[in-house]
């Protein structure tokens, strides 16, 4: 070995682990500590969410804003190529030397820990902080069948007030009277209005991403997904328009630091109904009405039957058309698997109700509609 090679030879741990990988492992260790302390202290979780979390959520959202397509979906498409490339490089390093393989493996592992670190600092700690409803001054309470009925009527009235401005193509559900991009602009405007009024919602201008594989994605029963590692609100555009609008608002709420599913549903409702656009208001009322009506059906068959008499024929037809649409996707293995994975994820992040958390929006809506000024 000549003198020059001896000078460049790695020594000690650096023969096996690159310096940059050690730095990333150190960041991951800090992420572990952050996760532990966040679970023990609401104030600490709030601090992380309001500082590092808000910064990371904003930066990643802006970084991918320029792309009209979903970067997360693109990564999914190319995942076989990425995996194949990693395996190829690992084999080539192993052929070169044991030290070379160890440096590659440790570097790859360090990059993998970035996903955990990014999650923890961007939204992970937020799960254990102060709830958005509490910041808004909305009290969650047990609700009676009568309160469910009264709330459902108010939601019906809200949706019915927009019927003159809602289009119903013959034989189908209600249709959005503008483009997807225009919907996005209207939702951003509504979010700006709501974030000025209430604390706990990041001020952010963002773009939702229509998923190209939406028709296939529908089999999982997932109408939208926030990907923290790209900062994107991905939306299933195969669903009826009033569901798509509400789902887009739900994922935009996640972008803005609203992490729990029931609160993201609630913020989507508040934002849509605060919009200056009739169809967004209609979508907001109608989507949440389904949750409240379902809870009422379980609580009182008599009041539910009375409610059914009050539903305008246009809204009844819209809900029926949605039911017909969804029947094709209702029972399948993909939905079972996706539901189990989603349930496990939600339960592991301070939401013990799992996927039932989505329906817990009912308590918040009742309080908001009946008891808020």
Give per-residue pLDDT as tens, 102-123: 999 999 999 999 999 999 999 9
Give per-residue pLDDT as tens, 188-206: 999 999 999 988 899 999 9
- Residue 1 has what pLDDT? 44
Kindly report which listed range (231-240, 274-283, 319-328) carries the lowest average pLDDT score: 319-328
Give per-residue pLDDT as tens, 285-312: 999 999 999 999 999 999 999 999 999 9
Q: Which residues, other chains included, contact 137 with Cβ-Cβ below 8 Å and sequence gap of 6+?
A: none
Give per-residue pLDDT as tens, 59-100: 999 999 999 999 999 999 999 999 999 999 999 989 888 888
Q: Radius of gyration of the chain from Cα atoms? A: 24
């Amino acid at each position: 070995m000549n003198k020059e090679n001896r000078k460049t030879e790695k020594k000690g741990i650096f023969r096996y682990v690159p310096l940059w990988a050690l730095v990333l492992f150190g960041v991951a260790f800090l992420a572990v500590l952050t996760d532990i302390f966040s679970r023990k202290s609401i104030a600490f979780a709030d601090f992380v969410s309001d500082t590092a979390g808000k910064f990371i959520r904003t930066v990643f959202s802006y970084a991918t804003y320029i792309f009209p397509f979903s970067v997360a979906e693109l990564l999914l498409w190319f995942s076989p190529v990425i995996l194949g490339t990693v395996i190829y490089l690992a084999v080539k390093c192993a052929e070169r030397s044991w030290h070379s393989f160890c440096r590659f493996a440790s570097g790859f592992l360090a990059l993998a820990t970035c996903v955990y670190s990014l999650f923890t600092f961007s939204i992970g700690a937020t799960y254990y902080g102060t709830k958005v409803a509490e910041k808004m001054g909305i009290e969650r309470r047990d609700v009676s069948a009568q309160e469910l009925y009264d709330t459902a009527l108010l939601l019906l009235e809200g949706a019915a007030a927009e019927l003159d401005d809602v289009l119903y193509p013959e034989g189908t559900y209600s249709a959005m009277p503008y483009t997807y991009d225009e919907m996005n602009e209207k939702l951003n405007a509504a979010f700006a209005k709501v974030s000025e009024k209430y604390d706990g919602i990041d001020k952010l201008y963002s773009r939702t991403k229509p998923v190209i594989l939406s028709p296939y994605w529908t089999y999982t029963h997932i109408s939208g997904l926030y990907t923290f590692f790209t900062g994107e609100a991905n939306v299933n555009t195969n669903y009826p328009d009033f569901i798509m609008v509400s789902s887009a608002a739900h994922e935009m709420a996640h972008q803005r630091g609203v992490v729990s599913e029931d609160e993201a549903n609630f913020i989507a409702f508040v934002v849509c109904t605060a919009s200056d656009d009739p169809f967004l208001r209609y979508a907001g009322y109608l989507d949440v009405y389904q949750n409240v009506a379902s809870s009422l059906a379980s609580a009182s068959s008599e009041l539910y039957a009375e409610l059914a008499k009050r539903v305008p024929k246009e809204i009844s037809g819209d809900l029926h058309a949605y039911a017909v649409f969804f029947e094709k996707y209702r029972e399948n293995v993909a939905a079972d698997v996706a539901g189990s994975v989603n349930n496990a994820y939600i339960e592991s992040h301070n939401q013990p109700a799992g996927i039932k958390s989505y329906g817990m929006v009912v308590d918040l809506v009742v309080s908001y509609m009946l008891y808020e000024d």
